[in-house]
Amino acid sequence: MHTLTLAHLYPAEMSVYGDRGNVIALRQRCVWRGIELQIVPVNPGDQVAWGTMDLAFFGGGQDSGQALIARDLLERQGVGLRNAIEDDLVLLAICGGYQLLGHYFLTHAGERLPGLGVLDIHTVGGKQRMIGNSVVEAQLAAQTVHLVGFENHSGRTFHGSGVRSLGRVLVGSGDNGEDRVGGAVYRNVYGCYLHGSLLPKNPQLTDHLICLALQRRYGPHAQLAPLETNLELQAQQAMLQRLL
Ligand code: GLN
Distance 129 CA to ligand 1 centre (A): 9
Supply the residue whose CA is at minimum distance from atom 5 of ligand 1.
Answer: 96
Confidence of residue 73 (pLDDT cuts 50, 70, 90): very high
Confidence of residue 41 (pLDDT cuts 50, 70, 90): very high
As a whole number, mean pLDDT of residues 200-229 equals: 97
Q: Report the C-alpha gap between 89 and 91 in whole angstroms.
A: 6
Out of 122, 153, 195, 208, the active site residue is 195
From 30, 95, 122, 208, the catalytic residue: 95
Q: Is residue 214 pLDDT above 90, yes or no?
A: yes
CATH 3.40.50.300 fits 3-243, yes or no: no
Distances (CA, A) of 134 to 32, 59, 175: 29, 17, 11
- Predicted local confidence at residue 242, as pLDDT: 98
Contact criterion met (CB below 8 Å) for 99 and 105: yes
Q: What separation in angstroms does the CA of 47 have from each of 14, 30, 51, 207, 239?
A: 18, 26, 12, 29, 40
CB distance 166 to 119 below 8 Å = no
Q: What is the mean pLDDT of residues 185-197?
A: 97
CA dihedral 188, 165, 73, 26 (to 10 degrees): -50
Chain segment 133-171, per-residue pLDDT in tens:
999 999 999 899 999 999 999 999 999 999 999 999 999
195 is catalytic: yes
Distance 79 CA to ligand 1 centre (A): 25
pTM: 0.98
Does residue 1 carry a pLDDT above 90? no
